[in-house]
Chain A
Amino acid sequence: MRKSLLIFFANLRLTLVLILTIAGLSAIGTFVPQGDDAAKLAEKWDPDLVHVLEQLGVTNAYHSWWFLLVLALLAVNLIACTILRLPRVWKLSQESEGDAHVDPELPATAFNERWECAEGVLPALDVARKMLAKDYPNLRQVDGPRSRMLVGEKHRLSLWGAWVVHAGLMCLFAAGFLRIVYGYSLYMVIKEGERAVVPKERVIWGWSVDRVSAFGMSVPLPRVYHRMRTHNDFQVGLDTFDLQYYPNSSAPKLFRSDVKILDMDNKIQRGASILVNQPLSQGDVMLYQASWGYEGLHGARLDVKLPGDRDRYEVTAPFKKKIKLLKTAWELEITDFYPDATMVGPGKLEQASSQLNNPAIRLKFFERGKERAHFWIVYAFPQIQMSKVAGLEAVGRTVDPVPFTVLQVGHDPGVPLALAGALIVILGVFSSFYLFYRKIWVRITSLDNGRSLIQVAGFSKRNKMAFKRAFGNICRAMRKELGETSQGEQ
């Protein structure tokens, strides 16, 4: 029973089916938006359809049960194949050394030639050895009562290439498993001048049952582990966030977080910079520069005109703090700041993103301690004045927003295994395709008339055409050197 299961899973036709299935299933997820993008899908597509897609896992295709199942089947297929075949191949590769009482046998191969020459066996053997030595340094000789045989092989290791590839693939499967179970990828936001604890996900083993609703039914879904959100035992503080643009362009050239690593008692451990393409490794997590944005202000400069006044006041105001306008009865406070404002209605603004694309601040004015006006000013459009008090105007000059950085916190214990697997796959693929295995046999048999019969056979695993040429060349050279007394048949 166990044996037949093994044989079923070691089926190579199953491999082909699985390979095609995986290729086909992977394509689905490239056409249907995945993960977070899928949430916006309901706006464009029929919500019922989106719901069905979600239930089927199509919007999370690469983690859906059906995709993981097929991948797991391929892994089982690969392992079963190896268990079943490897011992056989190993045995085959351990060739017997021959028996001096029996003449060595020449294998039946695609390439072979034979002819007779006047030389005796031993001199002919010397010539053959000399000719083969260049291409096949490790010549082996097998002796029999009437004949001697030379066997040469090259790139024997490449015979194992496919097995090496598959071993590498198994490492990759194992790495993927570790990643799915133990890996996490979380985001943390830190404002300039502040610090934050680094988040973490812990895996807790133990049976539990989730209930998921599918097609109007509540279906129990057993789980062997679940995850708990905790934190790593260190913090990251953002000293400065640096953003540079290419000259005369809005294309960012560089963004960098200069950070401090602190322990939980706020003691500084070290300082470091995190850039795109230059993550920071700390403990068993990697910190990547993911994104940035702005929230809040250090302050802002603006020009203010009060009702009945001819002059404009140049004001430098802090954020969310009332200040007095000198020599007047007025006070002012910046109550809100949007780095990227869009107008959604008269006097109403919304925040489109946290990038500094279209900064706007909202001002509150007080006269003798009483609130008089509360309105937005958009830096890019000084002509739009939204104050409802006649004669009260404000125009923004500069803003000094507080940047924040978004760091990705990545943990993946499978990485070393994945690295090993990747290197092994590369090694196997290159050795199997660029070093092709070839083998040559030359048997020299003494004939009754004192002459010798020369038989040459050759085998090549790949690149048959190149081998055919090389094989022809060797035979031609040998014929020339040894002479030929009769036309041998092919």
Chain B
Amino acid sequence: MSPDTLSQALFLVLFALLSVAWLTQLVGVLTHSEARLKLANQLARVALAWNIVALGHRWIAADHAPWANQFESATVVAFGVVLLYQIFQREHRVPLLGLLVLPAAMVAIAAASLLPQEYKRIAPLMPALQSYWLKIHVSLMLVSYGAFATTFALSLMYLVRDGAWTQRTTWKVLPLATALGGLFFAYVHAQARSPFWNSLMARFTWTELAGDTSKAYGLFALLGLLLGGLASAGLNRLPARLVEGLPDTETLEELNYRSVAVGFPLLTLGVILGAFWGHVAWGRYWGWDPKETWAFITWMIFAFFLHARVSQGWNGRRLAWVGLFGAGSIVFTYWGVNFLLSGLHAYAKP
């Protein structure tokens, strides 16, 4: 097996481990079983250890820090998500938190695995990335994204608990998000002319689809819609017990603030160290490159979160929406900028 295939396989195993941990937790919650919840937590830790192994393997195989392309960085984000979730959980023990946080790590790995091969391949470092700043700046940014996955989960939990997020909202939002995901998937593969895409285009010569990219786009959007619809149906069938198992809104609000208090300093440090690197590599510490700018926008959104809270007494529902908004901004900073915008930071592209 080539190191490339092995590395990708290791991360697929990680995905499986995370899924098992998640399912165990779900069952634990539904059956009110402490033992199963404990097991789920241990499984999450096993996944974390496995993540380290997989990253270690890749580090050795690639001979550089394994966060230099889109696939690699996503696996580090998954690591950050689970790590910070574990740290947070140790201090605060929030029932159900993992149910919402672990999927963030799973989505990161799944999305990365669905990319065309050239985004996933182990590749040597281009000169601009040959710097110890790669190790420091990029890893910090990715881990801070992980911290905000907890913010995302807690904001969502708050809204559900509070009743602002209803089953109908899930019906509207989730399928839309997965449909966009499907579209995005199609777009990336079409742009890269991946073998998968080419064979798909070739296979459908007997239909009108032949060579018609827009129809294929539609197909994937539809697939996404279907998947999201199924997930919504499943989620909405979950018994009310799940919602009742949530901590009260006051606790959730405090925890949500705590999670921002963990992520904000990491983000601040990550952005500033990135500026140090920019000074050395690009001759300016700040240049409004799209990636920089979006990290800055995210930073401003969370500064807004903090100020609205201390100075205007914003709380509860409103802050939870701001938290979700900030999490969305992170997703765009991380994936949207890489694929939809161009700039100096386009290292993830092959």
Contacts and interface: CB of A to CB of B under 8 A. Distances in A.
Interface of A: 12-13, 15-16, 19-20, 22-23, 26-27, 29-31, 34, 61-62, 162, 176, 185, 246, 249, 251-255, 275-279, 286, 288, 290, 408, 410, 412, 415, 418, 422, 425-426, 429-430, 433-434, 462-466
B123 A251 contact: yes
Contacts of A27: 293-294, 297
Contact of B265 (A185, A276, A430, A463): A430
A171 to B, nearest CB: 12
A465 to B, nearest CB: 6
Interface string B276-314: 100111111110101001101100110110011011100
B53 interface: no
A29 B126 contact: no
Contact of A19 (B91, B124, B254, B303): B303
Interface stretch (B4-12, B165-173, B267-275): B267-275
B304 A16 contact: yes
A16 B311 contact: yes
Sorted from nearest, which 10 A-B pairs have the closest CB atoms?
A12-B311, A23-B300, A410-B283, A276-B127, A30-B290, A288-B283, A62-B288, A277-B131, A433-B261, A422-B272
Contacts of B281: 276-277, 288
B261 A462 contact: yes
Contact of B285 (A26, A415, A426, A464): A415
Contact of B254 (A30, A408, A465): A465
Given A15-B307, A20-B304, 14 more contacts: A12-B311, A12-B312, A13-B311, A13-B312, A16-B312, A26-B288, A27-B294, A30-B293, A253-B124, A277-B130, A426-B268, A426-B269, A464-B254, A465-B92
Nearest to B336: A30
Contacts of B311: 12-13, 15-16
A466 B130 CA distance: 42
A89 to B, nearest CB: 13
A23 B304 CA distance: 10
Nearest to B341: A30
B128 interface: yes
A16 B311 CA distance: 9
Nearest to A22: B300
B68 to A, nearest CB: 12
B284 A252 contact: no
Interface string B325-343: 0000000000001000100
Nearest to B269: A426
Contacts of B141: none
A108 to B, nearest CB: 18
Contacts of B254: 464-465
A418 to B, nearest CB: 6
B312 A23 contact: no
Contact of B307 (A12, A252, A430, A433): A12
Contacts of A277: 127-128, 130-131, 133, 280-281
Contacts of A251: 123-124, 126
A176 to B, nearest CB: 8
Contacts of A426: 265, 268-269, 272
A429 B265 contact: yes
A34 B312 CA distance: 36
Nearest to A243: B127
A434 B128 CA distance: 34
B255 interface: yes
B297 A23 contact: yes
B251 interface: yes
A415 B279 contact: yes
